[in-house]
């Protein structure tokens, strides 16, 4: 699991962005290593944006202006809403399935279009 912060970086979350960027490149390195060794192991990363979870709700609650922060997260995605946890889970399920048998070293972005803008 990574985050869109590992793709675009956030100045106010430098350590978080760096750690998620590290996950991104570690994923690619592991995918190449396993493929070259002939292991039957695939490695991919999932990069969600703002997901409606207790963790995100606690961030909103701790903000100086919770409603404004929540609104900015909602409008950050062109789809105009927060992701639901099940939407991220479906992406992971795809990666765990035989349908993704030729997918390795990939970054699957689950962000409602945030990084496309």
16 belongs to the catalytic site: yes
Active-site pick, 16, 24, 52, 103: 16
DSSP secondary structure letters along the chain = ---THHHH--GGGHHHHHHHHHHHHHHHHHHHHHHHHT-S----EEEE--B-SHHHHHHHHHSSSHHHHHHHHHHHSTT-SPBPHHHHHHHHHHHHSGGGTT--S-EEEESTTGGG-
Catalytic residues: 16
């Amino acid at each position: 699991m990574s985050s869109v912060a590992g793709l675009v970086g956030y100045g106010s979350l430098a350590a978080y962005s760096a750690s998620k960027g590290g996950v991104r490149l570690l994923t690619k390195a592991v995918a190449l290593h396993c493929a070259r060794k002939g292991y039957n192991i695939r490695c991919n990363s999932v990069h969600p944006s703002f997901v409606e979870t207790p963790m995100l709700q606690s961030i909103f609650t701790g903000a100086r202006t919770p409603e404004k922060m929540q609104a900015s997260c909602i409008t950050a995605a062109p789809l105009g809403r927060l992701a639901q946890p099940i939407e991220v889970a479906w992406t992971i399920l795809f990666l765990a399935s035989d349908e993704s048998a030729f997918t390795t070293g990939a970054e699957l972005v689950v962000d409602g279009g945030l990084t496309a803008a």
